[in-house]
């Protein structure tokens, strides 16, 4: 899991922690979950014309967040974004479900979660590329 403090300035993260309190972990879990989803979208087939990927994602997120629970939310957002399968860590979903108001938390913050998803998607991509480079380097060293 990528932590928000690793990609945002520490002052900003401290402000978010102070505002959210106990819900800070929920924010991190949702941000990571959405980052995984954002990364799996084939934007070449979805984004067309003047529509921008963040606008499309936020719109789909807004409507999928109306679901009653995180499982139905995942079904809806993946369906709306034409994602056949995702490599979502199950522990993220389980951690999110522990908070009773998890869907209300998401519904009230779809725009900021779109920004988190974009940023974390880039971080996940960089992380994956570094893993590939390292494995190739390890193969050459053997």
Helices (H), 10-65: 10-20, 24-40, 43-46, 53-64
Considering the entire predicted model, what is its pTM?
Answer: 0.74
Cβ 142 vs Cβ 56: under 8 Å: no
pLDDT recorded at residue 43:
82
Cβ 120 vs Cβ 2: under 8 Å: yes
Q: pLDDT digits over 41-93, tens only?
A: 888 887 665 568 888 889 999 999 999 999 999 999 999 998 887 778 888 88
Per-residue confidence at 7, pLDDT binned at 50, 70, 90? low
Two structure tokens written together for 24: 């800070």
């Amino acid at each position: 899991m990528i932590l928000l403090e690793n990609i945002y300035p520490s002052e900003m993260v401290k402000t978010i922690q102070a505002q959210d309190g106990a819900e800070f972990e929920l924010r991190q879990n949702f941000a990571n979950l959405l980052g995984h989803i954002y990364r799996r979208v084939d934007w070449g087939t979805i984004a067309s014309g003047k529509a921008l990927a963040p606008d499309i994602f936020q719109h789909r997120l807004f409507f999928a967040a109306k679901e009653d629970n995180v499982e139905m939310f995942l079904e809806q957002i993946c369906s709306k974004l034409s994602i056949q399968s995702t490599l979502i860590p199950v522990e993220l979903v389980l951690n999110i479900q522990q908070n009773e108001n998890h869907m209300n938390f998401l519904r009230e913050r779809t725009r900021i979660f779109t920004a988190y998803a974009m940023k974390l998607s880039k971080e996940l991509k960089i992380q994956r590329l570094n893993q590939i480079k390292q494995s190739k380097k390890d193969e050459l060293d053997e």
